Amino acid sequence: MSSVGAAFRLARAGWVLVREGVVAALPGEELSGMPKFGWRVARLFTRRRALSYQRGDRLARAVVRLGPSYVKLGQFLATRPDVVGNDMALDLALLQDKMHTFPKAEAVHAIEASLGRRIDDLYASFGDPVAAASIAQVHGADVACEGTTSRVAVKVIRPGVRRRFFQDLESYFLAAHLQERYIPSSRRLRPVEVTQTLAQTTKVEMDLRLEAAALSELGENTKDDPGFRVPAVDWERTGRDVLTMEWIDGIKMNDLAGLAAAGHDLKAIAANLIQSFLRHTLRDGFFHADMHPGNLFVEASGTIVAVDLGIAGRLGKKERRFLAEILYGFIVRDYLRVAEVHFEAGYVPRQHNVSAFAQAIRAIGEPIHGQSAETISMAKLLTLLFEVTELFDMATRPELILLQKTMVVVEGVARTLDPAFNMWKTAEPVVGDWIAGNLGPRGLLTDARDGAKALLALARQAPDLAVRTDRLSREIDLMAEKGLRFDEATARAIGKAEARHTRSGRVALWVIALTLIYIAWKLL
């Protein structure tokens, strides 16, 4: 029955999107055949009032009606312009993760159940909610320790949110499977893999212990950095459903008037924000991936404090080198080197020509060098770069797309603080230092040391590798002689899985069709 329930929920979501004018706002005139007919039908069922709203407003209203899991879906898809397109990604990025608060008594129950202690034993006082989002809400509280009282922020998971999310995830998986099955052109976008990524991201975000660990890691990485920090975690009062951390007294970065009234240098804050983000990305390979203005505070000292680390990004050494060399290559107009980096990293298949790819890169770089530095957006550069790589069959790289999305947001915040912000001049010290340390003589020594460690580890595994190689050789010989065979249990399992998949797909289609017929009948 889960497939039937998922189909009903999917049909309801489609109906809400139609009624709020989201489908009608799509560029349907460019369609043909049945998709265009469906778009025209959707326009007939759109609320008349919804037609007067902008596309982003229509999307926001639909998401609010659908509930918190769709807010999170929208925010996730905003990080995947390769899937939904750049225009839709920009609209989704504007979705506000603000929900109604739930009762304080429910928050107290969740805390006591998670930590196994009474609320009065945990906090000297526990206040009303001060902010609420799709997954959790935040309360102000006080903690007594050794005769002193300190203020803390307590983040509590929304009751029932896991069950609701996992129910809606069934609908997302059903839609992804149907899309792959009946729209062959969408298969290159890997909708099922995208949905699996969303499921994993959501699971991580709903365990507040993991957010606490991310705060702790970023705090250790930035403990000596000037002008940036994250709240300290109170581990004694942190569990799966509750996160207790230091209370931040500061001005939100979207309050420009408040920042100016407090005497802060907005240009200095913009430069500090960009340099901190690049430092975390290149030096540490671990960055805050949700740095919108609502998650950034400025203390009286001018220090930036980042909160809400439910979404974090990681880059390996190869990806960091990739990013640094791309930026440096565009600065010095070495387009061939930028192209070579893509091939060395394995991002572009070897069947393509490096020089032809360098030509495409040049088409992006040359117009940029004709502009003043203040008008050049590094985020836009990366967006154009990823568009070009699609022409050369570059596979989707989730870690790079998350980086791109975060850079778009961070650069946008910096330009809000300083409209004449020079991204390249501000980034140069951080990028230059990383290149000197990792691509120069020091970098060669580090690579040689890492290579020696890898060889030593390989040598230790040599006896085991020899045994496994011999076993694999015998298996290949046997396969060449008798062919590839499945045992009876495997063949039976494959048959059952295929039958179940076909049956559930048919049931889902019938449920959706009957639901739409019922809705149309009600409206007539």
Active site residues: 290
Residue 74's nearest CA partner among 53, 54, 88, 58 is 88
Radius of gyration of the chain (CA): 26
What is the token pair recorded at 310?
Answer: 């439910």
Place of tokens 């004709």: 370
| CA–CA separation, 160 and 241 (whole Å) | 11
What whole-number distance in Å separates Cα of residue 112 and Cα of residue 122? 9
Is residue 366 classed exposed, middle or buried when 0-12, 13-18 and 19+ CB atoms within 10 A define those classes? exposed
Side-chain half-sphere of 218: how many Cα atoms within 13 Å? 31
Rounded alpha-carbon distances, angstroms, from residue 424 to 374, 408, 411: 8, 14, 11
3-state secondary structure of 28: helix
Q: How many degrees, rounded to 5, is the angle at CA 415 between CA 73 and CA 75? A: 0
The two structure tokens encoding residue 118: 């009474």
What CA–CA distance (Å, rounded) separates 177 from 191? Answer: 8
Q: What tokens were used for 492? A: 């039976």
Rounded Cα gap, residues 7 and 9, in angstroms: 5
Q: Please tell me the distance from the alpha carbon of residue 61 to that of residue 11, in angstroms, as a whole number.
A: 17
